[in-house]
């Protein structure tokens, strides 16, 4: 029996959830690539505090902070989704639930849909949006995008 917590198995499930997306992206491979960079393929997935979401930061949210304090300023899980983004797609999510990969996966998938809906239709644009918040802004994390593209291509090559 497969282990449902295992990173590549979660990528497979996420890919299945996203198979109705019509853009030309293999989402299983993309989740594998993003998770590869974000958590070393599911190895280091503890919460990471981002100062930009904390007091005085540009993304500070007083409501989320009142509820969860600095736990609201962290990214979570194999794909290190920001808590603020998780809360945007599912208002009742808690930091505790985001520590559970089986809760984090559907929320991560939901956020992925939102990124695609906003017009990121390629591996490059989605990686940009995943890391810097948007593929349209002036922040282009070149090294991050290159790492994701490389892992994505490797994963596709293994599959076929
Ligand atoms: Zn904080």
**Centre of ligand 1 from the C-alpha of residue 13, in Å:** 32
**Centre of ligand 1 from the C-alpha of residue 52, in Å:** 9
**Centre of ligand 1 from the C-alpha of residue 48, in Å:** 10
**Centre of ligand 1 from the C-alpha of residue 51, in Å:** 6
Express each pLDDT in 60-111 by its tens digit: 999 999 999 999 999 999 999 999 999 999 989 999 999 998 899 999 999 9
**Centre of ligand 1 from the C-alpha of residue 70, in Å:** 4
Q: Which domain holds residue 145?
A: 4-159
**Centre of ligand 1 from the C-alpha of residue 106, in Å:** 25
Express each pLDDT in 24-52 by its tens digit: 999 999 999 999 999 999 999 999 999 99
CATH number of domain containing 90? 1.10.530.10
Reduced 3-state DSSP string for the chain: CCCCCCHHHHHHHHHHHCCCCCCCCCHHHHHHHHHHHHHCCCCCCCCEECHHHCCCCCCCCHHHHHHHHHHHHEEECCCCEEHHHHHHHCCCCCHHHHCCHHHHHHHHHHHHHHHHHCCCCCHHHHHHHHHHCCCCCCCCCHHHHHHHHHHHHHHHHHHC
Question: Model pTM?
Answer: 0.93
Domains in the chain, number: 1
Protein residues with C-beta less than 5 angstroms from the ion ligand 1: 54, 70, 73
């Amino acid at each position: 029996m497969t282990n449902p917590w295992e990173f590549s198995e979660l990528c497979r499930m996420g890919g299945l959830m996203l198979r109705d997306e019509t853009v030309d992206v293999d989402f299983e491979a993309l989740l594998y690539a993003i998770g590869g960079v974000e958590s070393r393929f599911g190895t280091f997935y503890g919460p990471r505090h981002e100062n930009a979401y904390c007091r005085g930061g540009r993304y500070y949210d007083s409501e989320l902070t009142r509820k969860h304090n600095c736990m609201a300023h962290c990214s979570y899980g194999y794909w290190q989704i920001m808590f603020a983004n998780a809360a945007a797609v599912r208002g009742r999510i808690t930091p505790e639930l985001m520590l559970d990969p089986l809760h984090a996966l559907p929320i991560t998938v939901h956020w992925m849909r939102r990124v695609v809906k906003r017009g990121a239709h390629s591996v490059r644009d989605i990686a940009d949006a995943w890391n810097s918040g948007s593929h349209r802004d002036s922040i282009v994390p070149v090294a991050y995008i290159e790492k994701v593209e490389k892992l994505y291509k490797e994963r596709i090559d293994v599959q076929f």
